[in-house]
Amino acid sequence: MRFKDTLKDDLATFLKPCEFAEVALFSRSGLEINVILDKEIESETGKVIDIMTVKVSDIVDITVNDTFTIGSTVFTFISKFPSKIGELMVSLRVQDGV
């Protein structure tokens, strides 16, 4: 089995809300999707930024200023983060309270 196949099989586990993920309402589709929300340190500025990892298929046609709502917090899509896991997942830079 290739690594990509193994990753595809394990992806569902990582995106379970009872494991690592949270449920977010995605404004473009109006659907609830599972996301992994994390923080990273931006290399150029040293600032802590919000990073959201999602399945590529859940965010088709995403555009800047689309939002993800988790509970009462709204995160606004700023840009794609330079991190992509095959064609399965992508990390997005998001900002809360924009």
DSSP class of 56: G
Q: Which of 34, 75, 80, 70 is nearest to 54 (CA)?
A: 34
Q: How many other CB atoms are there within 10 angstroms of residue 77's CB atom?
A: 22
CA distance 42 to 84: 17
Domain residues for the domain of 9 are 3-96
Q: Residue 48's domain is classified under what CATH number?
A: 2.40.10
Q: In a 3-state reduction of DSSP, which class is residue 42?
A: coil
pLDDT band with cut points at 50, 70 and 90 for residue 93 = confident
Q: What is the pTM of this model?
A: 0.79
15-53, pLDDT tens digit by residue? Answer: 778 778 999 999 999 999 999 998 988 888 999 989 898
| The pair of three-digit structure tokens given for residue 44, joined into one six-digit string | 């150029």
43-84, pLDDT tens digit by residue? Answer: 889 999 898 988 888 998 899 999 999 999 999 998 876 555
pLDDT value of residue 12? 72
Q: For the chain, what is the domain count?
A: 1
Which is more confidently placed, 75 or 94? 75
